[in-house]
């Protein structure tokens, strides 16, 4: 929400949450001990005091490489934002979505139906067995159960857990206690009636409590990991900069990133070409009362639009994402489908009453292609995750650790980045999402290997990056202004041209000479079709955005400490 | 002529254009040539307020009933309605739901014409320069914004080589508007 002042950071009074460590009825010894311990400590101090920050959540101590270089990583493509008939605006069976994801090459998916009163009451119990069934039917696809959480005071977010004995219980307790839809719905409507609107600022403390709740589930051992990614963050301007910082700081092992590119990438296809003629990403909004006032359309930019299909916060060099990274703290970006209804698919939603049953019922096959705004999972958007194996835990650890590349239209098949000290310091170096160190005044080498697409994308074209940008900026430490959303020192330091004739893997290197201060770097690439005069993505035009002719990838950063 | 401000009771989830039509209905019978919405961020939760430039006698009690909230004429009070009235008078911020010349801007007009026939001071292109002969396709929905004493129409490139206002009448409503 919109507020500049920071009087919302206090811990609000916790409700008892069934099935959590707060649940006094839960008498398992570990839970009792944790509860006693945490209650005495105050949840805010938990992470650091227990020393339980995952290795990936970067500590302040330099000299410990994170995500050490280990050769060419294996990439697993996935999508953390997928809807089914258990969303009031969705339609597909879980099985259909998983089968389509698999058909389009995905290794992992997260089922994320919208949170809310009906979903919490009726849908969770139904989707869980459907997910179990899909796992059995497609043993080569990881199917996570998640939720599209209405973040109190803000936008939506993916929240998900690995399969486990308590997964469903945790998700259910989380949604009942902390979903913005549930919290803002009046008691008479089955909600809690505790906040004014799902996006109003009085929800902000609940968002922080919610993330601490998830972190506590990890600390208590009820789940091994839980992750949250903020979805379509700029769409309505309701995710304020201080909210990102608040989420990240409240639960650094859980709140780890955001959609760098939203779904609904087909929505901007011109009506004249058989498309919906809407905004790419369905990003067609204007500021509302809960928007952050700093996110305002001006003569130079419109934060409420996508740029080359990516969210403004990610697409703008020196913008909000960079302002978070310039603090020297992790915050990762992804790309998802947000598939509700797929463009040119023949299904339409079933006639089920979602309000009273939690389901639209089975979709109806009209036999006629429908004009919609979404692509199937994997058809256009991919989140590539570097992981040791295709297992539920390894993929989530990869995401938590930022070994993530967001790709559109198969612009690349993989990206291998090695950043290392050439002098004293970490000579082995680290890869994407990592943290390395160098002796002050010594050189840092960046070695980039781009795996070009080995085949056609789903538009039938073998895409090719025309350029790869190396972007870097100083690490300036924790932001004094928690609502800052600019990193003026972050720039494109070099653009590498990819030869038109290149095949296979292309390699680039760059050396930062005589490094004097901590910095971070990241990569992005473009097919070169739509660039501003200075090489940046162009604001997408409503009703005139062919996604296949404007492809980008964004890789997550590497931090370089100076010792 | 003077300005008044109000804190209307509004439906939460139906989009700005729907809210606009409710507001304008409440002003039926009131001689108001400017009606603007503002966001009052003084309290813990942001509130949408309204200002209007009115002429002649206004039945404030009736207007307050129609809007479902307090209405006050311009003064120095520290209330949301008074802050709205001052913001309207100063054209300091907010968006114009009604403004002089609006009824002439229902089709496609050159930028020069937009400025000539209405209270809009400037047509501002987002990321593009606007020349007087550039065409603005209004689609019958024009909501200029006030910034620091000026009334600006923000426009952006649209399909067919025209410009369109940045605020659309029916933006995508996700999931019932949560």
Instruction: For residue range B137-159, list pLDDT tens digits in order.
Output: 999 999 999 999 999 999 999 99
Whether A369 and A443 share a structural domain: no
Whether A243 and A159 share a structural domain: yes
Percent of all residues in chain A with a pLDDT value above 90, rounded to a whole number: 88
Whether A48 and A165 share a structural domain: yes
* Cα(A551)–Cα(A408) distance, integer angstroms: 6
Percent of all residues in chain B with a pLDDT value above 70, rounded to a whole number: 96
Whether B42 and B119 share a structural domain: no
Q: What sign does the dihedral B94-B57-B22-A181 (CA atoms) show?
A: positive
C-alpha dihedral (A362, A182, A238, A244), degrees to nearest 10: -100
User: What's residue A48's pLDDT?
Assistant: 37
* Cα(B144)–Cα(B169) distance, integer angstroms: 13
**pLDDT tens track for A434-459:** 999 999 999 999 999 999 999 999 99
pLDDT mean over A317-330: 98
pLDDT mean over B25-47: 96
Whether B139 and B77 share a structural domain: no
Whether A281 and A169 share a structural domain: yes
The answer to whether residue B13 is domain-embedded is yes
The answer to whether residue B149 is domain-embedded is yes
* Cα(B67)–Cα(A291) distance, integer angstroms: 23
CA angle (B155, B159, B162) in 5-degree steps: 50
* Cα(B159)–Cα(A544) distance, integer angstroms: 6
**pLDDT tens track for A16-54:** 444 443 444 444 434 433 443 443 333 333 333 333 334
In this structure, what DSSP letter does residue A281 have?
G
How is residue A325 written in tokens?
A: 């990274």
Number of compact structural domains in chain A: 2
**CB contact B125 to A (< 8 Å):** yes
pLDDT mean over A190-211: 97
Whether B66 and B136 share a structural domain: no
| For residue A58, pLDDT beyond 80 | no
ipTM reported for the complex surpasses 0.90: yes
The answer to whether residue A21 is domain-embedded is no
How is residue A427 written in tokens?
A: 């000579």
pLDDT mean over A460-476: 98
* Cα(A527)–Cα(A457) distance, integer angstroms: 13
**pLDDT tens track for A382-396:** 999 999 999 999 999
Whether B121 and B141 share a structural domain: yes
The answer to whether residue A68 is domain-embedded is yes
**pLDDT tens track for B153-177:** 999 999 999 999 999 998 987 664 4
Q: Which domain holds residue B29?
A: 2-97
**pLDDT tens track for A404-420:** 999 999 999 999 999 99
Of B97, B116, B149, which one is at a domain's C-terminal end? B97
Q: Are B74 and B3 in contact (CB under 8 A)?
A: yes
- Work out the pLDDT band at B13, boundaries 50, 70, 90: low
Contacts with B46 from chain A: Cβ below 8 Å: 1-3, 200-201, 289-290
Whether B124 and B37 share a structural domain: no
User: What's residue B12's pLDDT?
Assistant: 63
Nearest CA in chain B to A272: B159
Task: State the nearest Cα–Cα gap between A183 and chain B, in angstroms.
Answer: 11
Nearest CA in chain A to B42: A3
The answer to whether residue B28 is domain-embedded is yes
**Taking Cα atoms as reference points, which of A418, A326, A325, A432 lies closest to residue A385?**
A432
Mean pLDDT of chain A: 91
Of B77, B97, B117, which one is at a domain's C-terminal end? B97
> Which residue in the set A289, A305, A542 is minimally distant from B46, CB to CB?
A289
**Taking Cα atoms as reference points, which of B51, B58, B54 lies closest to residue B80?**
B51
Q: Which domain holds residue A353?
A: 29-397
**pLDDT tens track for A128-161:** 999 999 999 999 999 999 999 999 999 999 999 9
User: What's residue A29's pLDDT?
Assistant: 37
Whether A147 and A261 share a structural domain: yes
Nearest CA in chain A to B167: A286
> In A220-311, which residue ranges form alpha helices assigned H by DSSP?
241-250
User: What's residue B125's pLDDT?
Assistant: 98
User: What's residue A47's pLDDT?
Assistant: 37
Whether B78 and B119 share a structural domain: no
**Taking Cα atoms as reference points, which of A18, A400, A111, A383 lies closest to residue A228?**
A400
Instruction: State residue A531 phi and psi, 5-degree precision.
Output: -130, 145
Whether B47 and B73 share a structural domain: yes
- Work out the pLDDT band at A2, boundaries 50, 70, 90: low
Of A397, A431, A452, which one is at a domain's C-terminal end? A397
Whether A239 and A337 share a structural domain: yes
Instruction: State residue A259 phi and psi, 5-degree precision.
Output: -65, 115
Output the domain CATH number for residue A515: 2.60.40
Contacts with B159 from chain A: Cβ below 8 Å: 270-272, 277, 541-544
pLDDT mean over A240-268: 98
Of A354, A370, A397, which one is at a domain's C-terminal end? A397
The verdict on a CB contact (< 8 Å) between A544 and B41 is no
| For residue A121, pLDDT beyond 50 | yes
Antiparallel, parallel or unpaired: β A412-421 and A227-230: unpaired
Number of compact structural domains in chain B: 2
The answer to whether residue A2 is domain-embedded is no
Q: Which of B94, B143, B174, B176 to mutate to test the interface with A (most CBs of A within 10 A)?
A: B174
Of B97, B129, B149, which one is at a domain's C-terminal end? B97
**CB contact B42 to A (< 8 Å):** no
The answer to whether residue A407 is domain-embedded is no
The answer to whether residue B176 is domain-embedded is no
pLDDT mean over A283-305: 97
Contacts with B150 from chain A: Cβ below 8 Å: none
> In A28-166, which residue ranges form alpha helices assigned H by DSSP?
29-41, 46-50, 94-103, 117-118, 124-137
Residue window 270-329, chain A: list those with CB within 8 Å of chain B: 270-272, 277-279, 282, 284-286, 288-290, 293, 297-302, 304-305
Whether A275 and A329 share a structural domain: yes
**pLDDT tens track for A474-520:** 999 999 999 999 999 999 999 999 999 999 999 999 999 999 999 99
> Which residue in the set B16, B159, B174 is minimally distant from A288, CB to CB?
B16
Whether A429 and A386 share a structural domain: no
| For residue B28, pLDDT beyond 60 | yes
The answer to whether residue A13 is domain-embedded is no
Output the domain CATH number for residue B71: 3.30.70
pLDDT mean over B15-31: 93
- Work out the pLDDT band at B11, boundaries 50, 70, 90: confident
Whether A482 and A351 share a structural domain: no
User: What's residue B10's pLDDT?
Assistant: 80
Whether A339 and A428 share a structural domain: no
Q: What sign does the dihedral A455-A275-B124-B91 (CA atoms) show?
A: negative
- Work out the pLDDT band at A308, boundaries 50, 70, 90: very high
Whether A226 and A296 share a structural domain: yes
* Cα(A191)–Cα(A204) distance, integer angstroms: 17
**CB contact B88 to A (< 8 Å):** no
Whether B126 and B82 share a structural domain: no
User: What's residue A62's pLDDT?
Assistant: 61
Whether A195 and A342 share a structural domain: yes
The answer to whether residue A3 is domain-embedded is no
The answer to whether residue B173 is domain-embedded is no
The answer to whether residue A11 is domain-embedded is no
């Amino acid at each position: 929400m919109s507020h500049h002042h920071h009087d919302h950071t206090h811990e609000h009074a916790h409700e008892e949450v069934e099935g959590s460590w707060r649940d006094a009825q839960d008498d398992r010894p570990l839970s009792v001990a944790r509860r006693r311990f945490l209650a005495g400590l105050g949840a805010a101090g938990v992470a650091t005091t227990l020393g339980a920050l995952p290795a990936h959540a970067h500590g302040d101590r330099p000299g410990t490489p994170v995500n050490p270089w280990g050769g060419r990583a294996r990439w697993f493509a996935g999508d953390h934002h997928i809807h089914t008939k258990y969303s009031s605006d969705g339609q597909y069976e879980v099985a259909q979505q998983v089968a389509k994801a698999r058909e389009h090459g995905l290794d992992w998916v997260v089922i994320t139906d919208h949170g809310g009163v009906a979903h919490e009451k009726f849908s969770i119990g139904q989707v869980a067995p459907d997910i179990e069934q899909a796992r059995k039917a497609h043993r080569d696809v990881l199917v996570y159960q998640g939720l599209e959480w209405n973040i109190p005071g803000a936008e939506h977010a993916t929240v998900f857990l690995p399969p486990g004995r308590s997964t469903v219980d945790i998700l259910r307790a989380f949604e009942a206690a902390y979903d913005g839809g549930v919290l803002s719905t009046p008691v008479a409507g089955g909600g809690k009636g505790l906040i004014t609107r799902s996006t109003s600022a009085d929800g902000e403390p609940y968002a922080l409590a919610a993330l601490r709740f998830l972190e506590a589930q990890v600390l208590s051992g009820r789940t091994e990991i839980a992750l949250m990614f903020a979805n379509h963050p700029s769409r309505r301007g309701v995710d304020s900069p201080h909210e990102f910082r608040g989420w990240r700081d409240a639960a650094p092992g859980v709140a780890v990133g955001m959609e760098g590119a939203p779904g609904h990438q087909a929505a901007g296809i011109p009506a004249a070409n058989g498309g919906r003629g809407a905004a790419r990403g369905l990003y067609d909004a204007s500021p509302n009362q809960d928007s952050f006032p700093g996110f305002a359309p001006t003569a130079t930019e419109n934060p409420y639009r996508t740029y080359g299909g990516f969210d403004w916060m990610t697409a703008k060099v020196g913008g909000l994402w960079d302002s978070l990274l310039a603090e020297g703290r992790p915050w990762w970006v992804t790309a998802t489908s947000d598939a509700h209804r797929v463009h040119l698919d023949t299904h339409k939603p079933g006639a089920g009453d979602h309000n009273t049953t939690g389901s639209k019922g089975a979709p109806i096959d009209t036999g006629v292609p429908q004009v919609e705004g979404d692509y199937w999972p994997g058809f256009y958007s991919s989140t590539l995750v570097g992981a040791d194996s295709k297992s539920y835990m390894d993929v989530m650890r990869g995401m938590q650790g930022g070994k993530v590349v967001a790709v559109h239209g198969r612009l690349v098949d993989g990206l291998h980045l090695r950043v290392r000290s050439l002098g004293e310091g970490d000579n082995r170096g680290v890869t994407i999402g990592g943290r390395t160190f160098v002796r002050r005044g010594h050189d840092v080498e960046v070695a980039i290997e781009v795996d070009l697409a080995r085949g056609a994308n789903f538009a039938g074209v073998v895409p090719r990056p025309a350029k790869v940008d190396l972007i870097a900026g100083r690490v300036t430490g924790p932001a004094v202004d928690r609502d800052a959303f600019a990193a003026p020192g972050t720039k494109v330091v070099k653009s590498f041209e990819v030869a038109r004739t290149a095949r296979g893997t292309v390699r680039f290197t760059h050396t930062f000479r005589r490094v004097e201060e901590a910095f971070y770097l990241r990569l992005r690439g473009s097919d070169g079709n739509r660039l501003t005069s200075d090489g940046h993505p162009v604001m997408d035009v409503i009703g005139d955005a062919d996604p296949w002719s404007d492809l980008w990838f964004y890789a997550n950063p590497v931090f370089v400490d100076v010792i | 002529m003077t300005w008044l401000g109000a804190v209307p009771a509004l439906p939460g989830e139906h989009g700005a254009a729907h809210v606009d039509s409710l507001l304008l209905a409440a002003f039926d019978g009131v001689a108001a040539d400017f009606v603007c919405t503002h966001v009052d961020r003084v309290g813990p939760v942001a509130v949408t307020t309204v200002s209007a430039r009115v002429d002649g006698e206004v039945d404030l009690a009736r207007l307050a009933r129609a809007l479902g909230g307090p209405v006050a004429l311009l003064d120095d009070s520290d209330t949301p309605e008074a802050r709205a009235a001052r913001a309207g008078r100063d054209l300091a911020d907010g968006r114009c739901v009604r403004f002089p010349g609006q009824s002439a801007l229902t089709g496609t007009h050159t930028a020069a014409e937009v400025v000539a026939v209405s209270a809009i001071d400037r047509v501002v292109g987002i990321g593009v320069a606007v020349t007087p002969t550039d065409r603005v396709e209004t689609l019958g929905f024009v909501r200029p914004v006030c910034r620091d004493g000026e009334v600006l129409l923000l426009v952006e490139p649209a399909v067919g080589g025209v410009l369109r206002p940045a605020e659309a009448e029916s933006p995508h409503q996700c999931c019932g508007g949560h």
